[in-house]
Amino acid sequence: MPCIVRAVAVSMLLAYQVLLQAVINQYLNNDLNIFRQLLIFKNKACIISKYKNSVDHQKLRHYNAAVQCLQKLQHPGSCFPHSTTFWFGTSCSHWNFSTKSRHQQTIRIDGKAIAQEIKDEIKAEVELLLEHGLRAPHLTVLLVGSDPASVVYVRNKAKAAEYTGITCEVLRLPESVSERAVLREINFLNSLPDVDGILVQLPLPPQINKRTICDAVRPDRDVDGFNVLNVGRFCVDQEAFMPATPSGVLEIMKRLKIETFGKNAVVCGRSKNVGMPIAMHLHSNGNATTTICHRNTPQEELVKFTRAADIIVTATGVPGLITSDMVSEGVIVIDVGITRMLSDQGQARLVGDVDYAGVSKKASMITPVPGGVGPVTVAMVIKNTLIAYKNTLQKNSLSDQFKK
Pair (251, 293) in one structural domain: yes
Pair (213, 253) in one structural domain: no
Give the active site residues: 157, 201, 224
Helix (H, G, I), strand (E, B) or coil at 142: strand
Instruction: Give the H or E element holding residue 30.
Output: none
Pair (284, 231) in one structural domain: no
Beta strand 93-97 with 84-88 is antiparallel
CATH code of residue 176: 3.40.50.10860
Pair (257, 355) in one structural domain: yes
Please give the residue range of the domain that contains residue 325. 244-373
Q: Are 359 and 322 in contact (CB under 8 A)?
A: yes
Residue-wise over 331-365: b if at least 16 C-beta within 10 A, else e?
Answer: bbbbbbbbeeeeeeeeeeebbbbbbbebbbebbbb
Pair (180, 273) in one structural domain: no
Pair (23, 80) in one structural domain: yes
Instruction: Look at residues 165, 169, 134, 138 and name the one whose alpha carbon lies nearest to residue 154.
Output: 169
Looking at the structure of the chain, the number of domains it has is 3
Pair (254, 367) in one structural domain: yes
Instruction: Look at residues 340, 334, 339 and name the one whose alpha carbon lies nearest to residue 373.
Output: 334
User: What is the torsion angle, in degrees rounded to the nearest 10, for the CA atoms of residue 116, residue 120, residue 122 and residue 124?
Assistant: 180
Task: List phi, psi (to 5°) of 103.
Answer: -100, 10
CA dihedral sign of residues 202, 204, 206, 210: negative
Mean pLDDT of successive 10-residue stretches along the chain, which has 404 residues:
53 52 46 42 35 42 50 40 31 39 74 98 97 97 94 96 98 97 98 97 96 97 95 87 95 96 97 94 95 97 98 97 97 96 83 96 96 97 98 77 51
User: What is the torsion angle, in degrees rounded to the nearest 10, for the CA atoms of residue 293, residue 299, residue 304 and residue 309?
Assistant: 40
Pair (250, 311) in one structural domain: yes
Question: Residue 117 has what pLDDT?
Answer: 98
Q: Are 218 and 190 in contact (CB under 8 A)?
A: yes
Instruction: Round to the nearest angstrom and report the end-to-end CA distance of the chain.
Output: 65
Pair (304, 219) in one structural domain: no
Helices 148-164 and 373-403, axial angle in degrees (round to 10): 50
Distances 33 to 27, 29, 36, 258 between C-alpha atoms, Å: 10, 9, 5, 11
Pair (185, 227) in one structural domain: yes
Global pTM value: 0.74
Cα separation, 388 vs 73, in Å, equals: 47
Q: Is residue 126 part of a domain?
A: no
Q: Is residue 196 part of a domain?
A: yes
Pair (265, 367) in one structural domain: yes
Pair (305, 236) in one structural domain: no
Cα separation, 276 vs 270, in Å, equals: 5
Question: Residue 343 has what pLDDT?
Answer: 77
Given 56, 71, 90, the domain boundary residue is: 90
Q: Is residue 219 part of a domain?
A: yes
Q: Are 61 and 103 in contact (CB under 8 A)?
A: no
Given 241, 257, 291, the domain boundary residue is: 241
